[in-house]
Structure 1
Amino acid sequence: MSDQHPEESSIPDEVWEQFARDSERDIRASAPKEPSARARMVTSRLRQQDAQGVRPDGWRAPPVPSGRRSRRRVGTVLGLLLALAVAVVAMKPSLIPGDPFGSRPGADADTSPMPVETARPTAPPSAANPDTPTLDRPFAGSPALHWGDGEAGIVLPPAEPVGSLTKAQVATALRQTKTLLVDANLNPKTLLGARPTAALGVLDPKQPHVVDELKWSLAAPDEKYDPLLLFTRFDPREVRLVGKVVKVRGRITFARGEDALLRVHADYTFVYALSRGGSKEVARTIVRRVIETELVDPTKYGVTPGRLQLVRYDESTGNSACGVHDGFLHPEFSSTGPTGAAPSGPTTDPYDRSRDLRQGDDATCGTASRT
């Protein structure tokens, strides 16, 4: 037999004191009370009728006393035990298996998505809780926890006619821009190094240099021709995506261009959760992209009708090794420390969408204040 004390010996003294007080209250409540004058009169009359062998109409024999009292006693004991159990659980909810009250440390009280972003935020997101990301909860502790999931996070604005373009033509340009964003940043095959065929397919092959340079950067990446300026890619030999969700936050707007029929502006931040091999450690990489596409009048310029001109693409990345130009992002894990070159740029918040992403921000590699 074990020498250990029984489990109930670990119950705090405060709980036993509460149990004693509750027991005393219940005993007082159930103690016999002095009958009222009216009760004594009724009792006297019933005794006289009983002596005469008379019973009033509707009189029923009382139930078996032992059974009734037995049930009441059992109910009282069960009630007291239940009250004691509730008191113990209230003081230490972890005694109950699982997480019935959502009180587990780090549990997310609300994981519903945020409203769609319609304008630039006025401030960076507030500090999230300090939870550590896990394989089951890869976005724990991240402001992106409440962002949109994948393609559903890219919501197109309602199309309207612009200049000589019809509503349908504007809607087509918006859908093509979304296709570019999705295939470049959310397609699992692209993320693990495959060729972003759909993204390249919406761009005008007649636009000087752009498509040819993008294809070259994918085939032979280096510092000058870097596919990461437009495409998000991770080395599948190094990391794997955790789950099937990429968190997304941003907006798309459109207007008439200065020298074009239509200009579409897209500003989105993507948050990726990654791990290595059989490790349970999770790291997050945050990529913000600003791209602008145009529809140019084919009657005035030598362009392909219905294809987009890519006129701007800027990016900023949080948590990727600096100075590596192999065409892949390389997340840094806390267990291994920094890799690559030392950061030369400023420390910035990769979740801050209130600041403008200026052209040339990608020229220096800085430090992410959080991931």
Structure 2
Amino acid sequence: MSDRRSEESSGDEPSSSSISDEVWEQFLQDTEREIRKSAPKEPSARAREVTERLKGQQGQPAGWRTGPAWQEMNGRAARRRRVWAVVGIPLAIAVAVVAMRPSLIPGDPFGSSGTRAGTDAAVKELPAETTAPTAPPSAVAPDTPTLAHPFAGSPALRWADGAAGIVLPKATALGAVPRERVELALQQTRKLLVDANLNPDVIAGGTPGAALSVLDPKQPDVIGNLKTSLRSPSKTHNPLFLFSRFDPKEVKQAGKIVKVRGRITFAKGKYHGVAIHADYTFVYPVVRADATGDGSTEVTRTIVRRVMDAELPDPARYQVTSGRLTLLHYDEDAGNSACGIHDGYLHPQFPSQALALDPSESATPSGQPVDPYDRSRDIGKEQACNKVSRT
């Protein structure tokens, strides 16, 4: 390095070929770091001797010390530095963003998917329920539901969406009852469950016309009582016994998804037909009706479990409407809904502030808290108004 500097400081060198110390230092750094393989070898002792002899001579060939090869090399290094200035800064920003949000990388190579309970789409769905559970769902890491992730912190996050959760078993003949009749009974039950619990219009307080259409009008009192409950709700005629409905002036759904889990089974019925047993839990995330939709919107959930027994009787033996279900028994249990109100609507309670309900018409939940997600326990219409352990 000292020889090189002494050469450049010689008064005999043309001014147009001189290189400053700063440029030379940069060149040495660049060539060592970026183009080490193409860097020239250090001059040998013989070369240095020749150089010394040429110091005093005039008319050296242009470019001996700063010739085109060196200038071109330094130019390439400068271009590399300019490219790094343009590309390196955005790349560094991208690396920092990915470090904070690795899930942004397609394919999620770091295996970070599903680490947050609210990341609904990344969570693996549970297989369909085929037998009665023997215990409640495992505890879930607490998380606050939001409009973007309304099932955050809920076991229902891994449940199926809507009607996809009502999985019918494969229909088979039941002795003299053909497979086609079993299939019809299953499909009619599914139609009833979907309209009564998943139809957005019904959830918003509408009439469950499709659900009513599968029930036998010849069954004493059933259709009449259900229509009365929808028209004039009361303690004895309550549509919530069979239908999930919210007051549209009070709350609205948070998104379009209702989570569903349960099962349907069938067997030979006592009326020589197909007996159907259905046991399903539906989870409804809701917001207040006047919610603005901004980031501060509060989301809560109401959990409704329904257990129902129906039969498609043999029309050759009984005075029934062919293809219509006879409703034999139905129970419901609602978690996170005000007690003692018989206006035909579910009334969810929000963590920050209960909805404005008339205290004289509502009852305060009491007793030992129950887990509304626990599908292993029995339910009945005469249950006390219990507190819930989670929503």
For normalisation by structure 1, the TM-score amounts to 0.75
Q: What one-letter code is carried by the residue in structure 2 that aligns with 1:287? A: V
Distance 1:106 1:147, change over 3 A: closer
Q: Distance in 2 between matches of 1:282 and 1:258?
A: 45
Q: CA deviation at 1:219?
A: 1.6
Residue 346 (structure 1) aligned with residue 358 (structure 2): no
Q: Do 1:252 and 1:266's aligned partners in 2 also have CA atoms closer than 8 Å? A: yes
Show the counterpart of 2:174.
162
Match of 1:249 among 247, 256, 261: 261
Tell whether the 8 Å contact from 1:350 to 1:368 is kept in structure 2 after alignment: yes
- For residue 226 of structure 1, the aligned residue among 238, 244, 255 is 238
Partner of 1:58: none
Opposite residue 306 of structure 1, the aligned amino acid is: G
1:267 match: 279
**Cα separation, partners in 2 of 1:206 and 1:86, compared to 1, 3 Å:** closer
Cα contact 1:291–1:313 (8 A) shared by 2:
yes
8 Å Cα contact 1:314-1:362 kept in structure 2:
no
Deviation at 1:206, TM superposition (A): 1.5
Residue-by-residue CA offset, 1:15-46 (whole Å, 9 max, x unaligned):
xxxxxxxxxxx99877989x9xxx98xx99xx
2:228 to 216, 234, 237: 216
Q: What is the match of residue 67 of structure 1?
A: 75
How many residues are paired up? 326
TM-superposed CA distance for 1:300, in Å, is: 2.4
**Amino acid paired to 2:369:** T
2:147 to 121, 126, 135: 135
After the TM superposition, which of the residue ranges 145-154 and 227-236 deviates more from structure 2? 145-154
Cα distance in 1, alignment partners of residues 310 and 250 from structure 2: 33
| Structure 2 unmatched ranges of 5 or more | 1-29, 49-67, 292-296
Shift, 1:202, TM fit: 0.8
Q: Please list the CA deviations of residues 105-152 of structure 1 after superposition, one character each: whole Å capped at 9, or x if unmatched.
A: 665272343221112223222222322111222111111122111112
Query: Which stretch shows the higher mean deviation, 295-304 or 164-173?
Result: 295-304
> Which residue is 1:15 aligned to?
none
**Residue 163 of structure 1: CA displacement?**
2.0
2:309 counterpart residue number: 292
2:137 pairs with 1:125 = yes
**Pairing of 1:313-328 with structure 2 (within 5 A):** 313-328=330-345
- Higher radius of gyration, 1 or 2: 2
Counterpart of 1:238 in structure 2 is 250
Quick check: 1:221–1:327 contact (8 Å CA) kept in 2?
A: yes
- 1: distance between equivalents of 2:73 and 2:303? 74
Distance 1:363 1:123, change over 3 A: closer
Q: Which amino acid aligns with 1:66?
A: N
Q: What is the aligned counterpart of 1:111 among 102, 123, 136?
A: 123
State the 1:285 CA deviation. 0.3
State the secondary structure of the residue aligned to 1:272: strand
- Worse-superposed segment, 199-208 or 76-85: 76-85
Q: What displacement does 1:363 show? A: 3.3
Q: Secondary structure of the residue that 1:124 maps to in structure 2?
A: coil
Which runs of 5 or more residues in structure 1 are unaligned?
Answer: 1-25, 45-60
Counterpart amino acid of residue 280 in structure 2: Y
Q: Does the CA contact (< 8 Å) of 2:276 and 2:311 recur in 1?
A: yes
| Superposition deviation, residue 87 in structure 1 | 7.9
One-letter amino acid of the structure 2 residue matched with residue 172 of structure 1: L
Q: Confirm or deny that 1:203 pairs with 2:252.
A: no
Equivalent residue, structure 2, for 1:48:
none
Distance 1:299 1:88, change over 3 A: closer
Q: Which residue of 2 aligns with 1:335?
A: 352
> 1:242-293: per-residue Cα shift (whole Å, max 9, x none)?
1111111111111112343211111111011111133311111000001111
Question: Which whole-Å CA distance do the structure 1 matches of 2:148 and 2:312 have between them?
Answer: 43
Bigger mean CA deviation after superposition, 81-90 or 194-203: 81-90
Tell me the secondary structure at the aligned position of residue 363 of structure 1: coil
CA contact (8 A) 2:279 2:307 kept: yes
Which position in structure 2 is the counterpart of 1:172? 184
Task: Tell me by how many angstroms 1:361 deviates.
Answer: 4.8
Distance 1:301 1:367, change over 3 A: same
Question: What code does the residue aligned with 1:343 have?
Answer: P
Residue identity matched to 2:246? F
